[in-house]
């Protein structure tokens, strides 16, 4: 009996060992990539890191190297990624001509199959929007929205809503934004959620719903503060200033705009600081007239 | 007779049989999966390649077409003409791309990458190669050949530099002769100055009635000539020193060029060897890393890099 036990144990041990060994063999290994492709991915990653640090020159040179390597092995997908990333940095640098060339080259590479179509169409819409061609930008924005199957759908809808609002369709923009808000919340994309709220605040302000507008700007401000996005915080504060001014509280509005000006100045955003200063001058004039009128009365 | 039996071992044979059968099924499934993963069940065909020497070829090395693996090197053997016969095992589905004008060459994937056999795509209007037909091989240059080429290009340049220095240093050459002529000219200038002085004294006697202004002018001219004389004397003193310095400098340049030539002759033959050794070391490291990465469970922890990495784009930027 004892001998029988030992045999059974040995068989069980052998079966267990062979199962573990074969299981190890059956594990699907990551397919090794070729050397140039690995190097290209490395450059792409370094470019994204440089862009996050704000070093756009370095980012562009990394994407350019990634493009060269991907091109040397005729990898269209990798080339499209490098071109879209280059276009994004070129657009942010204000070099719209180069950005447009990069996007057009990426579109020609996708040749009907539209690999990474959503990112590609989105960048095309952003480049067209930056160049002032809002009609074409809206067309490509809608295509990007339709092509998006992942978490970025809320971001795509935000862009479409922004373009609709700039073209004078606040109702359609509002409808899109309400959907975008839900999607961005679900995907935990706080920056985009804040963008939805800020734009909703702007629409409510235009439509005269000052309380709703104020609430939306406040929501956007909380989210932007949590993310530490200075330029967006300044925009939220200016929005709250505009709402307060429309309600007739000029000193209150001046306080909001002063806060916004402080944020823009310290963040080095001269353009926004200048716009806020102009708005403040206008409010001080209104405040002076109001005081004069009160004195006369 | 009472038979004592542990209840845990009831139906033991059946249990063992079921367990063994399950293990056999698992083994069969795993073999099928591994076979599928390694293309064991795909149809293949053979092509032959003959090369001058077998250096760099290893059994099982990858055969690629347009960067994609299409097969492997099945065997290497020395033929009757002391050349090396290679047999490539290629997936049948790629046969249409390998035509009679296709070529094979031994290349490296990057500086330290694996050596692979790269097959070029043939012309559309030419027939595809069939089973056991011969594929032509194109030789690529090795590092030692490139180093020899470089040495051949540098040698004539160094030789030209030596030639120029010899020309500058030649006592009968244009440069040295010009220097001697310049020296002679300086000496003649002194003579001319003395003649001019005596001419001026003579002129002073002849033209005694000329106004004081003219005398002053002549005196000034005399001063100028005197200064010129002193300048020439100074130049006369300095010129030989300058010439000697130039000669020493030229000799030094010649010596340095000779030393450089010796150093180059001593070092150049070692360069290919050093390069080869470095390459071997890097190759070894690469192989070890590849091997470690391939060991389970490490291999399962290595994720395939993602292609779709984009810079985050804000909708309101």
Could A1 and B6 be called an inter-chain contact, meaning their C-beta atoms sit closer than 8 Å?
yes
**What's residue A69's pLDDT?**
94
**What's residue B23's pLDDT?**
93
**What's residue A33's pLDDT?**
79
Residues of chain A with CATH 1.25.40.10: 36-151, 170-290
C-alpha–C-alpha distance, residues A16 and A22, integer Å: 10
Confidence category of residue B315, pLDDT binned at 50, 70, 90: confident
**What's residue B167's pLDDT?**
79
The count of other CB atoms within 10 Å of the CB of residue B151 is: 16
pLDDT at A24 exceeding the cut of 70: no
pLDDT in tens, B256-281: 888 888 888 888 888 888 888 888 88
Q: Is A85 on the interface with B (CB under 8 A)?
A: yes
**What's residue A123's pLDDT?**
94
pLDDT at B148 exceeding the cut of 60: yes
- Strands B136-138, B103-108: parallel, antiparallel or unpaired by DSSP? parallel
Which residues in chain B are closer than 8 Å to A191, comparing Cβ atoms? 314
Q: For chain A, what is the mean pLDDT?
A: 89
**Distance of residue A96 Cα from the nearest chain B Cα, in angstroms:** 14
Mutate to test the interface with A, among B108, B316, B317 (most CBs of A within 10 A): B316
ipTM score: 0.73
Cα separation values, B300 from A24, A32, B297, B303, Å: 9, 12, 5, 7
Confidence category of residue A61, pLDDT binned at 50, 70, 90: very high
Do residues A272 and A231 make contact, with C-beta atoms less than 8 angstroms apart?
A: yes
3-state secondary structure of B106: strand
The angle that helices A230-246 and A190-206 make with each other, rounded to 10 degrees, is 20
User: Which residue, A15, A1, A8, is CA-closest to B13?
Assistant: A8
Instruction: Identify the weakest region by mean pLDDT among A204-208, B207-211, B223-227, B263-267.
Output: B207-211
pLDDT at B173 exceeding the cut of 60: yes
pLDDT at B177 exceeding the cut of 90: no
**What's residue B284's pLDDT?**
86
CATH of domain A170-290: 1.25.40.10
Confidence category of residue B303, pLDDT binned at 50, 70, 90: low
pLDDT at A1 exceeding the cut of 60: no
Q: Is A78 on the interface with B (CB under 8 A)?
A: yes
pLDDT at A23 exceeding the cut of 70: no
Q: Which residue has the higher pLDDT, B56 or A266?
A: A266
Confidence category of residue A31, pLDDT binned at 50, 70, 90: low
User: Which residue, B115, B157, B124, is CA-closest to B283?
Assistant: B115
Residue A234 CB partners (closer than 8 Å, separation 6+) = A260, A261, A263, A264, A267, A269, A272, A276
CA-based nearest residue in chain A for residue B286: A35
Mutate to test the interface with A, among B311, B312, B317 (most CBs of A within 10 A): B311
**What's residue A25's pLDDT?**
63
Instruction: State the Rg of chain B over Cα.
Output: 44
Distance between start and end Cα atoms, chain A: 115
Q: Is B14 on the interface with A (CB under 8 A)?
A: no
Average pLDDT of the residues in B94-109: 88
Instruction: Identify the weakest region by mean pLDDT among A262-271, B207-216, B261-270.
Output: B207-216
**What's residue A28's pLDDT?**
58
**What's residue A241's pLDDT?**
96
Residue B296 CB partners (closer than 8 Å, separation 6+) = A24, A25, A27
In the A/B pair of chains, how many CB contacts fall below 8 A?
113
Cα separation values, B275 from B160, B278, B279, Å: 28, 5, 6
pLDDT at B96 exceeding the cut of 90: no
- Strands B62-65, B68-78: parallel, antiparallel or unpaired by DSSP? antiparallel
**Distance of residue A89 Cα from the nearest chain B Cα, in angstroms:** 8
Q: Is B142 exposed, middle or buried, given 0-12, 13-18 or 19+ CB atoms closer than 10 A?
A: middle
pLDDT at A254 exceeding the cut of 90: yes
Q: For chain B, what is the mean pLDDT?
A: 82
User: Which residue, B302, B27, B69, is CA-closest to A28?
Assistant: B302
What are B219's two structure tokens?
């005196």
- Which residues, listed in sequence order, are joined to residue B105 by a DSSP beta bridge? B118, B138
Q: What are phi and psi of B62, to 5 degrees?
A: -75, 145
pLDDT at B224 exceeding the cut of 80: yes
Q: Is B12 on the interface with A (CB under 8 A)?
A: yes
User: Which residue, A181, A271, A188, A207, is CA-closest to A235?
Assistant: A271
pLDDT at A199 exceeding the cut of 70: yes
Which residues in chain B are closer than 8 Å to A11, comparing Cβ atoms? 16, 19-20
B220-245: burial string, b at 16+ Cβ within 10 Å, e else: eeeeeeeeebeebeeeeeeeeeeeee
C-alpha–C-alpha distance, residues A216 and A204, integer Å: 9
Do residues B269 and B220 make contact, with C-beta atoms less than 8 angstroms apart?
A: no
Instruction: Identify the weakest region by mean pLDDT among A77-91, B78-92, B202-216, B295-309.
Output: B202-216
CA-based nearest residue in chain B for residue A94: B317
Average pLDDT of the residues in A70-87: 93
Instruction: Identify the weakest region by mean pLDDT among A132-146, B68-82, B184-198.
Output: B184-198
**What's residue B86's pLDDT?**
93
pLDDT at A32 exceeding the cut of 80: no
**Distance of residue B33 Cα from the nearest chain A Cα, in angstroms:** 7
Q: Which residue has the higher pLDDT, B302 or B248?
A: B248
Q: Which residue has the higher pLDDT, B25 or B178?
A: B25
Which residues in chain B are closer than 8 Å to A32, comparing Cβ atoms? 290
Could B305 and A18 be called an inter-chain contact, meaning their C-beta atoms sit closer than 8 Å?
no
Confidence category of residue B80, pLDDT binned at 50, 70, 90: confident
Q: Which residue has the higher pLDDT, A116 or A197?
A: A197
C-alpha–C-alpha distance, residues A104 and B136, integer Å: 41
Q: Which residue has the higher pLDDT, B3 or B48?
A: B48
Describe the strand order of the beta sheet including B136-138 as a list of residue ranges: B44-51, B84-91, B68-78, B62-65, B115-119, B103-108, B136-138
Q: Which residue has the higher pLDDT, A11 or A227?
A: A227
**What's residue B97's pLDDT?**
87
DSSP assignment of B44-84:
EEEEEEEES--TT--TT-EEEETTEEEEEEEEEEE-TTS-E
Confidence category of residue B317, pLDDT binned at 50, 70, 90: confident
Confidence category of residue A30, pLDDT binned at 50, 70, 90: low
Which residues in chain B are closer than 8 Å to A48, comparing Cβ atoms? 309-311
Average pLDDT of the residues in B163-172: 78
CATH number of this structure's domain A36-151, picked from the four choices 3.30.1490.190, 1.25.40.10, 2.60.120.260, 2.40.50.140: 1.25.40.10
Confidence category of residue A29, pLDDT binned at 50, 70, 90: low
Instruction: Identify the weakest region by mean pLDDT among A38-47, B91-100, B175-184, B226-235.
Output: B175-184
Residue A189 CB partners (closer than 8 Å, separation 6+) = A151, A152, A154, A155
């Amino acid at each position: 009996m004892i001998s029988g036990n030992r045999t059974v144990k040995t068989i069980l041990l052998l079966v267990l060992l062979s199962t573990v060994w074969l299981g190890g063999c059956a594990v699907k290994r990551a397919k090794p990539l070729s050397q140039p492709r690995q190097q290209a991915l490395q450059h792409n990653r370094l470019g994204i890191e440089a862009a996050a640090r704000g070093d756009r020159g370095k980012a562009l040179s990394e994407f350019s190297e990634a493009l060269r390597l991907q091109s040397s092995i005729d990898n269209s997908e990798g080339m499209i990624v490098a071109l879209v990333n280059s276009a994004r940095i070129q657009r942010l640098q204000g070099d719209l001509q180069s950005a447009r060339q990069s996007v057009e080259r990426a579109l020609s590479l996708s040749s009907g199959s539209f690999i990474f179509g959503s990112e590609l169409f989105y960048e095309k819409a952003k480049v067209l929007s930056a160049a002032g061609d809002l009609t074409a930008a809206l067309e490509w924005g809608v295509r990007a929205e339709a092509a998006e199957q992942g978490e970025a759908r809320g971001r795509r809808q935000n862009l479409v809503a922004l373009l609709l609002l700039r073209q004078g369709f606040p109702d359609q923009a509002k409808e899109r934004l309400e959907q975008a808000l839900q999607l961005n919340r679900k995907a935990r994309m706080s920056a985009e959620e804040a963008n939805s709220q800020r734009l909703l605040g702007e629409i409510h302000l235009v439509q005269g719903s000052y309380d709703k507008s104020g609430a939306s700007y406040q929501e956007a401000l909380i989210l932007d503060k949590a993310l530490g996005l200075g330029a967006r915080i300044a925009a939220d504060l200016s929005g709250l200033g505009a709402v307060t001014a429309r309600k007739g509280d000029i000193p209150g509005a001046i306080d909001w705009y002063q806060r916004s000006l402080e944020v823009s100045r310290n963040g080095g955003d001269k353009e926004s600081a200048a716009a806020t200063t102009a708005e403040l001058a206008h409010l001080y004039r209104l405040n002076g007239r109001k005081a004069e009128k009160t004195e006369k009365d | 007779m009472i038979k004592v039996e542990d209840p845990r071992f009831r139906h033991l044979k059946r249990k063992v049989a079921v367990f063994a059968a399950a293990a056999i099924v698992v083994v069969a499934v795993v073999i099928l999966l591994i076979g599928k993963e390694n293309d064991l069940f795909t149809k293949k065909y053979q092509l032959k390649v003959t090369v001058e020497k077998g250096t760099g070829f290893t059994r099982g090395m990858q055969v690629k077409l347009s960067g994609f693996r299409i097969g492997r090197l099945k065997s290497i053997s020395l033929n009757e003409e002391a050349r090396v016969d290679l047999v490539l095992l290629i997936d049948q589905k790629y046969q249409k791309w390998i035509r009679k004008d296709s070529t094979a060459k031994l290349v490296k994937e990057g500086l330290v990458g694996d050596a692979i056999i790269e097959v070029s795509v043939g012309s559309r209007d030419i027939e595809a190669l069939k089973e056991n037909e011969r594929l032509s091989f194109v030789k690529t240059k090795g590092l030692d050949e490139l180093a020899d080429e470089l040495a051949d290009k540098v040698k004539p340049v160094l030789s030209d530099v030596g030639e120029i220095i010899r020309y500058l240093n030649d006592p009968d050459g244009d440069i040295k002769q010009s220097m001697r002529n310049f020296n002679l000219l300086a000496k003649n200038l002194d003579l001319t100055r003395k003649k001019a002085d005596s001419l001026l004294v003579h002129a002073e006697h002849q033209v005694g009635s000329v106004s004081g202004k003219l005398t002053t002018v002549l005196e000034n001219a005399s001063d100028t000539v005197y200064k010129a004389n002193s300048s020439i004397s100074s130049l006369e003193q300095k010129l030989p020193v300058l010439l000697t310095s130039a000669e020493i400098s030229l000799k030094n340049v010649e010596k340095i060029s000779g030393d450089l030539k010796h150093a180059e002759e001593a070092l150049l033959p070692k360069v290919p060897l050093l390069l080869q050794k470095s390459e071997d070391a890097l190759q070894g490291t690469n192989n070890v890393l590849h091997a470690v990465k391939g060991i389970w469970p490490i291999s399962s922890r290595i994720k395939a890099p993602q292609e779709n990495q984009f810079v985050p784009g804000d909708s309101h930027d």
